[in-house]
Structure 1
């Protein structure tokens, strides 16, 4: 009975959190029963069951997968272009994408819409700029339903705001203080932080005067709306 109550409570909190942020929370656990889909650098389309995902400091170091004929693969992120991984347990609660009507025009049609609607996590090999140095990371996309003009990736090293707990479980209010952001005309993703967002706002959204001029009160929690406004700029 207690477990049922917690599940219902967490479901409500997760739905509320997604509605508030409109950015998905990252997944850290994946199903060992549902099929994962990987596209490799050599063009191979690999389908199979996840056996293990190894991380170091939050970053994926390798993924073990068993394909449909029973062959086991141990892959480093450098060998993978992108992948769709099935979230498991509570991680899946906030992953089913609804594709809200006002966001459809900024939906990235290159992504597999059916898998996203089923709650799959999309990750891709991405060039990022860290302290003026470029690195390659396998990162989770957090805005798949409006990522055509701006892509927002999970920062594995991000700190978080204070959350509200249910029976000791942090359920809501746990918002990341940093993300990797990549605009359509850029080759690398840039790290943006809550603490510097106000100062870097004009530079980040440069080219969209309408957004910059109308935003007199810059707030981190409005990041999603800023992305949509930027995407709509000039269209």
Structure 2
């Protein structure tokens, strides 16, 4: 009973925190029972259950799927165009809370909104300026799939987090990422934006949107709101 009450309290805390943030919390655990959906670069699609997600230093190196016919396939990031993975455990609770606050007005029609609304996590192949500004082709988790027409915000696999509310060693709320990868329409690749640099980058990022340039609410925690407001300016 106490555990249930604690989880309920943390879930409510998460709701209030997410309403201010608007970006989805990154997910790290996925269901091995529900169906995953993978689209390859050649246009073919694979549906099945996720068997394993191999990472190295936070980066996805291989995706293992058991197809509906029982065959097992191993995919490299460069083979995949996009994928939807179902969450499991506490990650699913977090994503469900986040999804309730998304700005539906700027939906990206190329994405499966039904899967997103059902709490699926969306990954896509993207060019990224990574270490030493080297352009790399990576499989990135999109944190604003419901309002990503103008600007995409990707999870930084190596990002550190601020302190958050947790239970059993798992952070449930309040853990703001200290960096993201940002991709503006027309950019060649996503670039890394750090919390400590946001004040200096603010006016360059939101150039052309007077509402944002004149706003006093420039906090890092409001990055999601800023993306939405910038979309309204376009």
TM-score normalised to structure 1 length: 0.91
Residues 32 and 167 (structure 1), Cα distance of their counterparts in 2 relative to 1, 3 Å cut: closer
Higher relative contact order (CA 8 A, sep 6+): 2
**2:100 is equivalent to residue 98 of structure 1:** yes
Paired with 1:199 and 1:227, the residues of 2 have a C-alpha distance of 17
Paired with 1:224 and 1:90, the residues of 2 have a C-alpha distance of 22
Alignment of 1:13-162 (within 5 A): 13-96=13-96, 97-98=99-100, 100=102, 103-130=103-130, 131-162=132-163
Number of corresponding residues: 231
Unaligned 5+ runs, structure 1? none
Unaligned 5+ runs, structure 2? none
C-alpha displacement of 1:230: 1.1
| CA-based RMSD | 1.8
TM-score normalised to structure 2 length: 0.91
**2:211 is equivalent to residue 221 of structure 1:** no
Indicate if the aligned counterparts of 1:14 and 1:93 stay in contact, CA closer than 8 A.
no
Indicate if the aligned counterparts of 1:59 and 1:156 stay in contact, CA closer than 8 A.
yes
Over residues 100-145 of structure 1, what are the superposed CA-to-partner deviations in whole Å (9 max), with x where a residue is unaligned? Answer: 5xx2321111110100010000000111113332111111111111
Paired with 1:91 and 1:196, the residues of 2 have a C-alpha distance of 29
